[in-house]
Structures are given as C-alpha cells and as structure tokens.
Amino acid sequence: MLVFLLLSITLQGSEWTRLRGPNGSGIAEGAALPNEISAQKNVHWKSAIPMGKSSPAITADRIYLTGHENGKLITFALERKTGRLLWRIEAPGHRDEKRNKLNDPASPSPVAEANNVYVFFSGYGLVSYTKDGKERWRVPMGPFTNFHGMGASPVLADGKVIMICDQDQDAYLIAVNQDTGKTEWKVERPEMVHSFSTPITYRNKRGQTEVVIPGSYQMTSYDVATGKLIWKVQGLTYQVKSVPVIAGDVLYFNGWAPGGEPDQRMDLPDFPAMLKNYDQNKDGELSKDEVPKAMHPGTWDMQDLNKNGLLDGKDWQYYRMRRTSTNSSMAIRLNGEGDVTKSHVLWTYQKSLPDVPAILHYRNVLYLIRNGGILQTLDPSTGAAIKLGRLPHALDEYYASPVAGDGKVYLISRNGNVSVLDASGEWSIRSTGEMNEEVFATPAIADGHIWVRTATALYDFAAPAGAK
Ligand SMILES: [Ca+2]
Ligand SMILES: [Ca+2]
C-alpha cells in the first residue's frame, strides 16, 4: 500500500500537463530545485525553438509547445530528457487575427495527457495529435472578435476538451469529446465580451465536476457534464487575464484592467437617457460626435463591439459597466449555487494588483507580482497584507506567472530578470539571474527540473546532483 502511494505521488509529480501545471496551481513538489537559474547557471539543456508565448506541457517523456514561423502556426514536441525535436506540424489553417502587440499567434498553451496533446490557435481552432505527431482530429473555429486577440488555453476534464471563447460578439464556452473532437455541448455567453483567463476545474460537494471561468464582470461556473451554469459571482473587472487557483474549497483570483482603479469610477447615464439627450440624428445609436467629451471611452473601437463606428445599447451598457467595475483580487468559497456574489466572496483586495500574472498560493501564502517588480504577499484566510517589496534588479513588467516548489518561488520578468525567493509571507531573495531575452511564458516544473521559454529557446534547468 505504502509503495503504491509513493509510486502514485511520484507519478503525479512527474507531469505538468497544462498552463501552470496541476490544475493551474503553479506548484510541483517532491524534488530539489535549483537555487539559481540564468542563461549560464544550472542549464541542463537548451533547445532553439520557434517564436511563441505559450507555456510548455510536460508528460513523462515529451514536452509540447506551440509557436509560429513565417505566418505558419506550429505544434512541436521535444524529447523531455534531451530537448531534441521529435516532431513539428503546421496547423491546418493560418488565419492572421488582429491582436494586441503583446499577444501572440501562439499564446494559448497546449494541454496534454499521457498519449495525446491538444492545442488551440486563434488563427485556426482546436487540433489534437498523438504523442508521435499524428493528427487525431481537428475543429476549425473562428474567426474571432476579440479586441486583443485570443489568449485562453484549453483544459481537459472528464473526457472533454473545454475551450472558453469569450470575445466581443458571440462569446461562448464549448466542450468537445477528447477522443473524437465532436461537440458535447456549447453554451452561448451573450453577456460576455473579451477576456483571456484559462479556466480551472474542481469536483464539488455534490459530485459534479465544475469548470470555473473568469470573464468580463463575472466569474461563472458550469457543470462539465452538461454545460449548465451552476453559480456566478459578479463584480469582476471588465477584462481578465489571470488563471484562477484553488486551495481547499476556496478559489483565488486576480482581475485587473486599465481604468479599473477605485478612483477611476464614473457613473454614466443609461442608454435611453443618452439617446434622449445626445442622439442628434435620431438613428438610435451614438456617434463619436454625439457623445460629450467627458463621457468618451478612451478607445472607441474597443467599446464598439460590432465595429460599425457607433455605440448601440449593448456597447453602451458594456462601457457603463466598465466604468463602474473595480480591479481586485478576491477569494471565493466554492460549492455555491446561483448568484453567490453576496454569500461566497470571502474577501477582496484592491491595492497592489498584478495585470497578467496569476496569484500563487504556496504553503499558505498568496504571492502577487505587479509590474515594476513589486511583490505583495497576503494571508489567504483574510486577504490581509503581509509584506510588500520590490524585487532587486527587476523593475520590469511581468507576464509569466509565479511558480513554486521545494520551498522556492520563481519569478521572471519580461526582460528575463529571474528572482528566486525563499517562500514565506516575509519572503526573501535567494538569488537573481538574467535570461538575457524576453520571457512571457510561465515556466513549468517537474521532478526537480524547471523549464523556461524565452523568445528563442526552451531551457531545462536542474540542480547539480547532490546539491541542497
Ligand atoms: Ca446617433
Ligand atoms: Ca456598434
């Protein structure tokens, strides 16, 4: 029995099959990890790879990634031990979609299981390959209407591949059969606009598997078996990017968007009032000239969801909500039903918030990394601040999410500044290092190795044998 338990723990610890690893936690325990990593330090191997911002998915013997080259969208597999390229395959389509300059044609991360991998490209849709690179099925999707381009990654649950496609028009959530690619269910989300957060799953106390999805203004949770909405929490900011994390029966999430700080709130008249006062040509929509300057959205095109140059009722309502929603990190008690905004939000925190990186919940401390290299730790039970400080030599933007294991927290900035911390609420710096290249992808950890994707390479780091 003991041997079996040990074996299962070892096997579980040996994979990191999606963005941020085991159910998006960002944590892998069970082996010593390097005290220091940089382009020179503790490099086990390094492989040149195509451009892309997706994170690696790691199985027992493979590393999967997506990338792009000369307008082609590529999935590729490396041998885990050596970094040797095993195969690379171009996606069946290569539509070039509008996206934010920080986004990328290959930003969604692959999700893998022992023998197969699943990838999503904004410029094509979903594709599944075997571990040997044979296509199993394909599901063309899009074109998408996401103002900044798509960013969420697919997740696996109960034999389904679940893909959130929140966009400015016709947002939806879809579950396809993992073995066939056939649609199991599809749920329209007309109240949603674009967002970028990768979902998380859990089994609730009633025995249902839920997929929890941060979206514009709302966190929603669906039954994986049927696609039925189970609960929601209102009050999120308008444009979310972070991956939620679950510890025990509490979910932690960070939502930040420009203009969402508490002192930037503004109460705007509703659409009928706007039409009454400002619709000069009486066409039932608002043009740039008709909206008074003080009420203008900063980016007109982002509010004009159907891109006809005019704001209609939905556009205006979305803008009103944007000006009243507030950025925050929050803790939500799971297992709710219905609208649990009032009953299940345990706390919110609004001071020092990350933009893109997810919260790390590690050894009963929350870590929040903000642009400028500002690291805040919080008490997960109360949301109370523990320590706020700047990481040395890392006054930079952060896109990769923090990851942890072996009592160490790894943080890497956009310009490749690495900080390794001794994990604790009163965190301290163990080491710093430089990758000398841009880093957007969240690192992966398994069996004492940590993999870091830079602009041109994948690095495999490991502690020297016998090191402590
Ligand atoms: Ca008008
Ligand atoms: Ca419009």
Distance between Cα 370 and ligand 1 center (Å): 41
Distance between Cα 191 and ligand 1 center (Å): 23
Considering every ligand atom, which ligand is closest to the CA of 311? Answer: 2
Distance between Cα 291 and ligand 1 center (Å): 9
Distance between Cα 312 and ligand 1 center (Å): 9
Residues 6+ apart with CB under 8 A from 272: none
Q: What is the CATH number for 296?
A: 1.10.238
Q: What is the pLDDT of residues 138-178, one digit of tens each?
A: 999 999 999 999 999 999 999 999 999 999 999 999 999 99
Distance between Cα 284 and ligand 1 center (Å): 6
Judge whether 301 lies within some domain: yes
pLDDT band at 355 (very low <50, low <70, confident <90, very high): very high
Rg of the chain, C-alpha, whole Å: 22
Query: In terms of domains, do 85 and 223 share one?
Result: yes
Choose among 212, 130, 207, 216: nearest CA to 166: 216
In whole angstroms, give the CA distance from residue 260 to residue 323: 7
Distances (CA, A) of 209 to 205, 276, 322: 9, 47, 31
E strand intervals along 168-282: 172-177, 183-188, 200-203, 209-214, 218-223, 229-234, 245-247, 250-255
Q: What is the pLDDT of residues 24-40, one digit of tens each?
A: 999 999 999 999 999 99
Considering every ligand atom, which ligand is closest to the CA of 288? Answer: 1
pLDDT band at 467 (very low <50, low <70, confident <90, very high): low
Q: What is the CATH number for 372?
A: 2.130.10.10
> In terms of DSSP bridges, do strands 116-121 and 111-112 run parallel, antiparallel, or are they unpaired?
antiparallel
**Quick check: 157 and 207 in contact, CB under 8 A?**
no
Which has more confidence, 85 or 239? 85
Query: In terms of domains, do 249 and 272 share one?
Result: no
Q: What is the pLDDT of residues 274-294, one digit of tens each?
A: 999 999 999 999 999 999 998
Distance between Cα 304 and ligand 1 center (Å): 13
Distance between Cα 288 and ligand 2 center (Å): 11
Considering every ligand atom, which ligand is closest to the CA of 275? Answer: 1
Percentage of the chain beyond pLDDT 90 is 87
Distance between Cα 49 and ligand 1 center (Å): 51
Distance between Cα 322 and ligand 1 center (Å): 22
Judge whether 12 lies within some domain: no
Query: In terms of domains, do 313 and 370 share one?
Result: no
Distance between Cα 42 and ligand 2 center (Å): 53
Query: In terms of domains, do 196 and 290 share one?
Result: no
pLDDT band at 468 (very low <50, low <70, confident <90, very high): low
Query: In terms of domains, do 100 and 163 share one?
Result: yes
pLDDT tops 50 at residue 211: yes
Choose among 98, 94, 43: nearest CA to 457: 43
pLDDT band at 13 (very low <50, low <70, confident <90, very high): very low
In whole angstroms, give the CA distance from residue 279 to residue 271: 10
Query: In terms of domains, do 341 and 303 share one?
Result: no
Lookup result for tokens 């078996």: 225
Q: What phi and psi values does residue 138 have, to the nearest 5 degrees?
A: -140, 145
Distance between Cα 312 and ligand 2 center (Å): 5
Distance between Cα 287 and ligand 2 center (Å): 9
Distance between Cα 307 and ligand 1 center (Å): 15
Please report the pLDDT score of residue 10 as a whole number: 46
Last residue of a domain, one of 297, 323, 349: 323
Query: In terms of domains, do 65 and 203 share one?
Result: yes
Judge whether 447 lies within some domain: yes
Last residue of a domain, one of 277, 300, 323: 323
Considering every ligand atom, which ligand is closest to the CA of 281? Answer: 1
Last residue of a domain, one of 323, 346, 363: 323
Judge whether 13 lies within some domain: no
Please report the pLDDT score of residue 394 as a whole number: 76
Considering every ligand atom, which ligand is closest to the CA of 279? Answer: 1
Judge whether 33 lies within some domain: yes
pLDDT band at 2 (very low <50, low <70, confident <90, very high): low
Query: In terms of domains, do 312 and 201 share one?
Result: no
Considering every ligand atom, which ligand is closest to the CA of 317? Answer: 2
Tell me which amino acid residue 369 is: I
**Quick check: 152 and 166 in contact, CB under 8 A?**
yes
Query: In terms of domains, do 221 and 182 share one?
Result: yes
Distances (CA, A) of 252 to 194, 202, 243, 451, 468: 21, 13, 9, 25, 32
Q: What is the pLDDT of residues 417-459, one digit of tens each?
A: 999 999 999 999 999 999 999 999 999 999 999 999 999 999 9
Query: In terms of domains, do 144 and 122 share one?
Result: yes
The conformation of residue 394, written as its DSSP 8-state character, comes to -
Structure tokens at 397: 């933007």
> In terms of DSSP bridges, do strands 338-339 and 229-234 run parallel, antiparallel, or are they unpaired?
parallel
Judge whether 364 lies within some domain: yes
Boundaries of domain holding 86: 21-263+326-462
Distance between Cα 257 and ligand 2 center (Å): 22
Considering every ligand atom, which ligand is closest to the CA of 283? Answer: 1
Distance between Cα 216 and ligand 1 center (Å): 27
Query: In terms of domains, do 317 and 214 share one?
Result: no
Distance between Cα 233 and ligand 2 center (Å): 27
In whole angstroms, give the CA distance from residue 56 to residue 393: 26
**Quick check: 384 and 347 in contact, CB under 8 A?**
no
Half-sphere exposure of 60 (CA within 13 A, CB side): 7
Distance between Cα 276 and ligand 2 center (Å): 18
Distance between Cα 316 and ligand 2 center (Å): 9
Considering every ligand atom, which ligand is closest to the CA of 285? Answer: 1
Distance between Cα 317 and ligand 1 center (Å): 16
335: Cα separation from own chain's centroid: 22
Query: In terms of domains, do 334 and 399 share one?
Result: yes
Distance between Cα 283 and ligand 1 center (Å): 5
The number of folded domains in the chain is: 2
Judge whether 15 lies within some domain: no
Considering every ligand atom, which ligand is closest to the CA of 300? Answer: 2
Judge whether 3 lies within some domain: no
Distance between Cα 303 and ligand 2 center (Å): 8
